[in-house]
A and B are shown apart, each in its own frame.
Chain A
């Protein structure tokens, strides 16, 4: 564990060091190249703006109206019947839609049930093992102007579902209920 956190801290500075050493060694105009690449970054960040505004506003309408909560309440008993703990159902639905909302729910669950409880461990694992599918889709496809997404969303959401079920099974097996 200590080794891996150590690597995480060192990897960026080391990478920069290697890049710059190689550039100097090869007599490249490092600073000019950096600025040139950076300009692209400005362009991409700005071109992302409308995509993010559009997506986050639609998600916030759905959440703030209470429609999402109502839907989750409706479906919770059904999922509980299938062995999915009722407490983590909101997290399961929010995780692919909104990263911030999911993190908020995870924090709440850990605070309420305790980090070392079954729900606390399950929420931790669920939060860590999947990503915000809708955000990634918006950002990556938005930035390069992909209009027809094909089957990308289907694949992303199905993988989220499998990740969720896997989390429940694994946490149960490793820590017990």
Chain B
């Protein structure tokens, strides 16, 4: 699926540029975006090193286990195939917490770490059930306070920059809940076929 989408985007773009006469722009964008991707990855290094370092200490100090214990019932319901005391749960919770408070750059390293732990559980290069659930929740955004948007609204002299917080929270809850429902739907559809 991803192989197809990836090739499709590039092929359609190049073919369209032939007809539309935008080959110049494509040529330029090609290398600019490659450059940008490298910059993003390099920018991730500082965040990843810092957070994975701190989280390693937290893991050994037993803090992840405590965090996992408190919120375990809810998480076990959402991720039924992760064993009770598995470190994956601690990382999943850290990712959710970071997301909820809008700490996007802390959320990514913890999310990747959670994925890694879930991959250890499944042991294949195929996305497991809990991985997809985790991904679905992340893509639907768990952020409660959209700080970037508020900043933009302030910049353009909004009378109430934060008035969109309530609508954003409701929309986030609806999209997260539907992500969970759709995820369950496809999972059961898949298992029934097998």
Contacts and interface: CB of A to CB of B under 8 A. Distances in A.
Contacts of A20: 57
B90 interface: no
B13 interface: yes
A163 B181 CA distance: 13
Interface string A8-33: 10011001101110110010101001
Nearest to B21: A66
A60 B144 CA distance: 30
Interface in A64-118: 64-67, 70, 96, 103, 106-107, 110-111, 114-116
B101 A23 contact: no
B56 A33 contact: yes
Contacts of A61: 9-10, 13-14, 17, 26, 29-30
Contact of A127 (B62, B146, B161, B174): B146
Interface residues of B, number: 105
**A: interface residue count bin:** 35 or more
A156 B125 CA distance: 19
Contact of A139 (B9, B112, B145): B112
Interface string A128-160: 111111001101110111111111111110111
B115 A19 contact: no
B10 A57 contact: yes
Nearest to A21: B61
Contacts of A116: 158-160, 163
B175 to A, nearest CB: 3
Contact of A149 (B2, B17, B109, B157): B2
A58 B26 CA distance: 10
A125 B164 contact: yes
Nearest to B171: A129
Contacts of A132: 139
A143 B97 CA distance: 21
Contact of A144 (B115, B145, B168): B115
A82 B132 CA distance: 31
Contacts of B26: 61, 64-65
Contacts of A96: 139
Interface majority SS on A: helix, strand, loop or mixed? Answer: helix
A96 B162 CA distance: 23
Contacts of B111: 136, 140
A53 B165 CA distance: 33
Given A125-B171, A146-B127, A64 B22 contact: yes
A128 to B, nearest CB: 3
Given A42-B45, A45-B48, A53-B37, A158 B178 contact: yes
A159 B54 contact: no
22 contacts: A33-B60, A39-B49, A40-B56, A41-B45, A44-B48, A45-B41, A52-B40, A56-B34, A61-B26, A103-B148, A107-B152, A111-B156, A116-B163, A145-B119, A146-B126, A149-B1, A154-B186, A155-B136, A156-B140, A163-B172, A166-B170, A171-B167
